[in-house]
């Protein structure tokens, strides 16, 4: 017999081998899909890391409080796809709030920024957080952190901002998705972000405080002449662009030397401090006032008419004349003030801003001079 040389065809695989190969193909396909998913996640994570690195660099480069807060509320919220971001800062002596007012930062500009004097108002479950707390929103625990929000979040991350073991405040992140923040999530990334924000926050606050000290009268704690003159140039430029009028008031305490001679310099200081407080109480947050030296003050009312200026000046005059001034140690005295008022209307706001500012102040000073000559304790308007 001849040997069977075969037909040249591959012999069929048995069923067991076919099953094994099919399983390997399925497993290989699953592995390829998993690898593709891992690569996609890695790409997404790389993009996220890149965005956060850019955000860190942007924070580090900020030089002002306003710029830092803008980045936190807008850039962070957009980058991290957050529905709500609020920032609560601990301000025991209201010093930071004073600086914020001097920077003309109003509650309307940053409604999600708030200040607390008592550290107890920043506690969760009665305790100060040392690490981020994540979970479902609870009104009793988290309500204080989202007071200004009409719609409350479904889940939150309450992030303490700590610098050198000192609590600066809380950064509060909110999402309308209940699954966004949960107690099982790792917080390393959030803690890193919080440490960057805390460092930047401390830095800009210290810078603003140094600037504030250089532009603040140490006795009355209102702005000094340098700051008022600087703001006057800024406000004249803004009024020119936005086409509104501004009012300048020059104020001088009547017979102040007699108060000093009779009650001593401490009595005079007490009167200066209280006069500045009463002037400021009649002004808006958007207005500017400061001590020009001695017993003289200057106030600048933005987007105000001549009638507005005269009305505010008269309120100030009455607030000073109608209530006695209590001394720090003992006793009291009466005091009055004379005020000159000048107005820069839209139609006259042209030319070099330095010259416009000088004329506006001179007009108010001349009106003050007339008030003094007419008997003091009165308001006169520039002609």
The answer on 326 and 250 residing in a single domain is yes
Q: What is the largest CA-CA distance in the chain?
A: 146
Reply yes or no on whether the pLDDT at 97 is more than 70.
Answer: yes
Same domain, 90 and 199: yes
Choice between 329 and 66, residue whose per-residue pLDDT is larger: 66
Instruction: Kindly tell me if the per-residue pLDDT of 2 is higher than 50.
Output: no
| % of the chain surpassing 70 pLDDT | 90
CATH number for position 135 = 3.30.450.40
β-pair type (155-163, 166-175): antiparallel
66 lies in the same domain as 126: yes
Considering only CA atoms, which of 353, 335, 243 is closest in space to residue 297?
Answer: 335
Cα distance between residue 160 and residue 142, in whole Å: 13
Bigger pLDDT: 359 vs 184: 359
Same domain membership, residue 185 and residue 108: yes
Final residue before a domain boundary, out of 185, 214, 243: 214
Same domain as 293, residue 155: no
Q: Is residue 152 part of a domain?
A: yes
pLDDT of residue 5 exceeding 70: no
pLDDT at 311: 97
Token pair for 150: 């009409």
Which residues make Cβ contacts (< 8 Å) with residue 227, sequence separation at least 6? 102, 215, 216, 288, 290
Q: Residue 326: its pLDDT value, please?
A: 94
**pLDDT category of residue 48 using cuts at 50, 70 and 90:** low
First-residue to last-residue Cα distance in the chain = 137
Per-residue pLDDT band at 310 (split at 50, 70, 90): very high
The domain boundary, picked from 194, 214, 234, lies at 214
Quick one: pLDDT at residue 285? Answer: 81
- Predicted local confidence at residue 110, as pLDDT: 93
pLDDT, residue 15, reads 65
Report the DSSP pairing between strands 325-326 and 155-163: unpaired
pLDDT band at 10 (very low <50, low <70, confident <90, very high): low
Same domain, 121 and 236: no
Active site positions, annotated: 295
Q: Is residue 13 part of a domain?
A: no
Domain boundary among 166, 183, 214: 214
Predicted local distance difference test score (pLDDT) of residue 314:
98
Return the higher-pLDDT residue of 129 and 89. Answer: 89
Is residue 327 very low, low, confident or very high in pLDDT (cuts 50, 70, 90)? very high
- Say whether both 186 and 241 belong to one domain: no
Same-domain check for residues 187 and 283: no
Same domain for 157 and 65: yes
Given this model, what pLDDT does residue 330 score? 84
**Whole-number pLDDT of residue 161:** 94
Q: What is the pLDDT, as a whole number, of residue 134?
A: 93
Q: Which of 150, 151, 149, 156 is nearest to 183 (CA)?
A: 156
User: Per-residue pLDDT for 225 more than 60?
Assistant: yes
- Above 80 in pLDDT, residue 24? no
Of 154, 290, 146, nearest in space to 219 by CA: 290
| Domain assignment of residue 199, given as a range | 58-214
Q: Is 280 within 8 Å of 228 (Cβ atoms)?
A: no
Alpha-carbon span 329 to 193, nearest angstrom: 50
| Average pLDDT score over residue span 364-369 | 98
**Whether pLDDT at 45 is above 60:** no
* Mean model confidence pLDDT for the chain: 88
**Is 3's pLDDT higher than 50?**
no
Over range 273-286, report the average pLDDT.
93
**pLDDT at residue 120 in the model:** 79
pLDDT of residue 101: 82
If we measure between CA atoms, which residue out of 75, 81, 70, 78 comes closest to residue 112? Answer: 70
Q: Is 47 among the domain residues?
A: no
The answer as to whether 220 is a domain residue is no
- The sign one gets for the Cα dihedral 261, 265, 267, 269 is positive
184 in the same domain as 112: yes
């Amino acid at each position: 017999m001849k040997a069977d040389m075969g037909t040249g065809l591959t012999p069929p695989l048995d069923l067991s081998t076919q099953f094994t190969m099919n399983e390997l193909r399925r497993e290989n396909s699953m592995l390829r899909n998993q690898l593709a998913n891992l690569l996609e996640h890695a790409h997404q994570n790389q993009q996220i890391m890149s965005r956060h690195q850019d955000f860190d660099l942007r924070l580090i480069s900020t030089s002002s409080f306003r710029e830092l807060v803008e980045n936190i509320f807008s850039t962070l919220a957009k980058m991290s796809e957050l529905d709500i971001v609020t920032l609560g800062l601990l301000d025991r002596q209201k010093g930071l709030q004073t600086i914020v007012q001097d920077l003309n930062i109003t509650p309307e500009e940053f409604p999600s920024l708030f200040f607390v004097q008592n550290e107890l108002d920043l506690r969760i479950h009665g305790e100060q957080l040392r690490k981020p707390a994540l979970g479902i929103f609870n009104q009793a625990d988290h309500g204080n952190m989202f007071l200004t929000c009409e719609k409350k979040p479904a889940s939150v991350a309450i992030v303490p901002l700590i610098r050198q073991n000192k609590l600066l405040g809380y950064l509060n992140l909110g999402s309308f998705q209940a699954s966004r923040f949960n107690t099982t999530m790792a917080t390393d990334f959030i803690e890193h972000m919080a440490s960057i924000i805390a460092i930047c926050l401390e830095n800009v606050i210290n810078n603003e405080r140094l600037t504030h000290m250089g532009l603040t009268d140490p006795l009355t704690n209102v702005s000094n002449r340098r700051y008022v003159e600087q703001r006057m140039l800024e406000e004249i430029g803004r009024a020119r662009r936005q086409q509104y009028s501004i009012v300048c008031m020059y104020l001088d305490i009547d017979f102040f030397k007699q108060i000093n001679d009779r009650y001593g310099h401490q009595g005079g200081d007490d009167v200066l401090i209280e006069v500045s407080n009463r002037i400021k109480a009649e002004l808006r947050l958007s207005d500017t006032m400061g001590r020009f030296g001695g017993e003289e003050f200057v106030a600048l009312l933005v987007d105000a008419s001549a009638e507005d200026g005269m009305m505010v000046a008269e309120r100030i005059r009455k607030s000073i004349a109608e209530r006695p001034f209590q001394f720090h140690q003992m006793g009291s005295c009466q005091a009055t003030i004379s005020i000159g008022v000048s107005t820069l209307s839209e139609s006259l706001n042209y030319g070099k801003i330095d010259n416009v500012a000088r004329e506006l102040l001179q007009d108010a000073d001349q009106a003050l001079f007339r008030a003094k000559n007419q008997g003091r304790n009165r308001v006169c308007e520039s002609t």
